[in-house]
Amino acid sequence: MTETASIEPILRIQDLSIAYPIAIGTVRAVEKASLELSDGEALGLVGESGCGKSTLGLSILRLVRPPGRITAGRILYHGRDILAMKENEVRRLRGRAITMAFQNPLTSLNPLYRIDRQFLETIHVHEPAAGRAEALARAQRVLSELGVEPRRLAEYPHQLSGGMRQRVMLALGLVMDPDILVADEPTTALDVIVEAGFIDLLNRLRRDLNLSILLITHNLGMVAQVADRIAVMYAGKIIEVGSAQEVFHHPLHPYTHGLIHCVPNIRLDQEKLATMGGSPPDLVEPPRGCRFHPRCPHAMDICRREEPRFAPPRGAAPLAGSAVAAGPTSPAAAAPAAAVHRVACWLHGGGA
């Protein structure tokens, strides 16, 4: 991991809410979520499946599909609100300034087109005057940097391995030299050896390109090796944000503590695997107060009545640390001002 290049956020999400109207009510997929991403920083967004993290990632490029809609909030890129932009402005932003690596490249790449045609389309959307030879030379350069032979440009997606498809997908996103990469579960379809290489690749891209990364995943091991800061999401809400070392070694929210301790212990000194009881709540009718209180071993009466405020902690000490180690170069001290540890939990003064 590299030190964060700037303390001024390149991307700022403020009080974002996203809803999906359905027959029985409205699914509040994301509610009043706020995040900041600094120049050159990697931010890990973690949580269980269905917590809203992928929906939040899609909203950055205004890719939330109907019937889903963004009901409140702002998404500021260099101070400009993406949600207030015209559609043609957003199209120019996608790929050039902010790019996204989707969960499954086999479904994201067009199966009917060769790889070279997909690069040509991407480049010509942003630079219509670019010649074919110039565009292909740029594609070859990016693919080579990611360890893919240029001859693969003449192949179709189904002819590539899973790891190679993921690199091609990443190359399509990087060919226009964007500032921000939103990576949504980028290693889901990869085996552990290819995943390790992909993690090394992300870290190299950050170092060489000063790329800002929003890494959306439930893979805590991957987050530990890439992220400077971690944001934890539960039932549509951001419940904890802090530096990687703080969150892994001194988790504040009981849900964060539970997530971390569900990771198998490689020392094999556990008699049985740790689990987290209960299930995520119904987002049509979420619980009153703290949304985690039905599953929380530390729940108090106030947790059932009132929603805690998201703020720096006070009062109770952090919960026990984790066996999952953040990377040795993870610079908690070098993280931006936004890295102040914050939590929404009554155990830590949620109403202060």
List the structure tokens of 220: 């805590």
Q: What is the structure's pLDDT at 107?
A: 81
Rounded to the nearest 5 percent, the helix, strand and coil shares of the chain are 35, 20, 45
Is 326 within 8 Å of 230 (Cβ atoms)? Answer: no
Q: pLDDT tens digit string along 35-47?
A: 999 999 999 999 9
Q: What is the structure's pLDDT at 201?
A: 84
DSSP state of 64: P
Please report the sign of the dihedral spanned by the C-alpha atoms of residue 269, residue 271, residue 272, residue 278.
negative
- CA-based nearest residue to 320, from 228, 256, 244: 256
Main-chain dihedrals φ then ψ at residue 14, nearest 5 degrees: -125, 120
* Per-residue CA distances from 40 to 109, 150, 171, 209, 248 (Å): 27, 28, 18, 8, 21
Angle between helices 132-145 and 162-174 (to 10 degrees): 130
Q: Does domain 9-97+179-348 have CATH number 3.40.50.300?
A: yes
Residues of the chain with CATH 3.40.50.300: 9-97+179-348
Angle between helices 162-174 and 115-126 (to 10 degrees): 20
Angle between helices 192-209 and 162-174 (to 10 degrees): 20
Q: What is the structure's pLDDT at 332?
A: 34
Q: What is the structure's pLDDT at 1?
A: 47
**pLDDT in 10s for each residue of the chain, 352 residues:** 444 444 679 999 999 999 999 999 999 999 999 999 999 999 999 999 999 999 999 999 999 999 999 999 999 999 999 999 999 999 999 999 999 988 778 888 999 999 999 999 999 999 999 999 999 999 999 999 888 999 999 999 999 988 889 889 989 999 999 999 999 988 776 777 778 888 888 898 888 889 999 999 988 888 999 999 999 999 999 999 999 999 999 999 999 999 998 877 766 666 777 778 889 999 999 999 999 999 999 999 999 999 999 999 875 556 655 545 554 444 333 444 455 899 999 998 766 5
